[in-house]
């Protein structure tokens, strides 16, 4: 049974664990290894506590398995850059490697999108590293390539693809 619920500051260690595991597995060979090796659950926990304490108009949801263990998370809110086509943004979506392909990502994506739609935010956007092996997930979810840029990340220029949905996906 998959449970998706709003995150609170007590969830920070579980979110941080998933964040580090997912980055180290997904971005191996893409992001410099020394950067990936420097990621710690302790440091990410501190960052997530700060984020979860000041959520304002942002949304963070977690996905749990039947035993209550957090295996995924997603965040979103109003768009952080100017683009008249989109009002909201999915800022993160990660699932622990051992829990992937079990519906957590899809449920998290739809739950965040549904909440953003409920905030009357039209048009969803997200950035994805071009080399991310899970990038096709956003195409399967109906996103269309809407932007492209190269950013310096840990000293390496990496291409990102922006996916957009003209209407924020939602369900009733």
Q: What is the mean pLDDT of the chain?
A: 93
Give the pLDDT confidence score for residue 172 in this predicted structure. Answer: 61
Percent of the chain whose pLDDT exceeds 90:
81
pLDDT at residue 128, as a whole number = 97
What per-residue confidence (pLDDT) applies to 99?
85
- For domain 3-165, the CATH class is alpha beta
pLDDT greater than 90 at residue 135 = yes
- Read off the pLDDT of residues 1-34 as tens digits, 9 standing for 90 and up: 678 999 999 999 999 999 999 999 999 999 999 9
What ranges do the domains of the chain cover? Answer: 3-165
pLDDT score, position 43: 94
* Residues listed for the chain: 172
Neighbours of 34 (CB within 10 A): 9
> What is the percent of the chain with per-residue pLDDT over 70, rounded to a whole number?
98
Instruction: Report the distance separating Cα 61 and Cα 118, nearest Å.
Output: 15
> Is a pLDDT exceeding 70 seen at residue 133?
yes
How high is the pLDDT of residue 23? 96
Distances, alpha carbon 95 to alpha carbons 42, 63, 69, 92, 111, in Å: 18, 8, 12, 10, 14
**Mean of pLDDT values over 89-108:** 93
Q: pLDDT tens for residues 67-92?
A: 889 999 999 999 988 888 999 999 99
Q: Pull the structure tokens for residue 42.
A: 């302790």
Whether 128 contacts 138, CB under 8 Å? yes
């Amino acid at each position: 049974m998959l449970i998706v619920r709003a995150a609170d500051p007590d969830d920070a260690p579980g979110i941080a664990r998933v964040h580090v595991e997912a980055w180290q597995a997904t971005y191996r060979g893409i992001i410099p290894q020394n950067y990936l090796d420097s990621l710690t659950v302790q440091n990410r926990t501190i960052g997530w506590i700060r984020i979860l304490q000041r959520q304002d108009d942002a949304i963070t949801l977690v996905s749990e398995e039947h035993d209550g263990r957090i295996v995924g998370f997603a965040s979103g809110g109003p768009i952080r850059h100017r683009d008249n086509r989109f009002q909201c943004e999915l800022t993160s979506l990660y699932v622990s490697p051992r829990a992937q392909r079990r519906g957590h990502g899809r449920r998290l994506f739809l739950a965040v999108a549904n909440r953003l739609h409920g905030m009357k935010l039209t048009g969803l956007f997200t950035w994805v590293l071009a080399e991310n092996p899970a990038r096709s997930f956003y195409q399967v979810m109906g996103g269309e390539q809407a932007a492209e840029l190269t950013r310096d990340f840990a000293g390496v220029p990496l291409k990102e693809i922006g996916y957009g949905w003209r209407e924020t996906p939602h369900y009733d």
